[in-house]
């Protein structure tokens, strides 16, 4: 009896060890894949953040340009009004 239970216990232990090692290999492979995917996602996040920063700077420059153009537009409109008033004044002197 003692000799038959010995090898079967050893075989059972070896089988459990093989199963545990296989499970460990699967867990390690999953962990490596998860870390690889995380690195890919992090690179994408970094690229999106860089794009966002660049777009924010572009937007700020565009907003500044619009403000400058609005200021120039107001000045041009004011000068046109003055010029039209001057032309009307000259015309009214010659029409009378």
The model's confidence at residue 3, banded by pLDDT at 50, 70 and 90, is low
pLDDT in the model for residue 52? 98
Main-chain phi, psi angles of 78, to 5 degrees: -65, -45
What's the distance, CA 4 to chain centroid? 66
Q: How far apart are CA 57 and CA 62, in angstroms?
A: 9
pLDDT tens-digit readout, 32-80: 999 999 999 999 999 999 999 999 999 999 999 999 999 999 999 999 9
pLDDT in the model for residue 95? 84
Q: Which residue has the tokens 């499970």?
A: 23
The model's confidence at residue 1, banded by pLDDT at 50, 70 and 90, is very low
């Amino acid at each position: 009896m003692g000799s038959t239970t010995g090898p079967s216990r050893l075989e059972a232990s070896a089988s459990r060890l093989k199963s545990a090692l296989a499970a460990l290999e699967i867990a390690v492979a999953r962990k490596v894949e998860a870390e690889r995917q995380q690195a890919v996602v992090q690179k994408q996040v970094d690229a999106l953040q860089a794009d966002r920063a660049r777009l924010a700077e572009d937007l700020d420059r565009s907003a500044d340009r619009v403000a400058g153009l609005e200021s120039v537009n107001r000045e041009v409109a004011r000068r046109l009004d003055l010029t039209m008033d001057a032309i009307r004044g000259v015309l009214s002197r010659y029409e009378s």
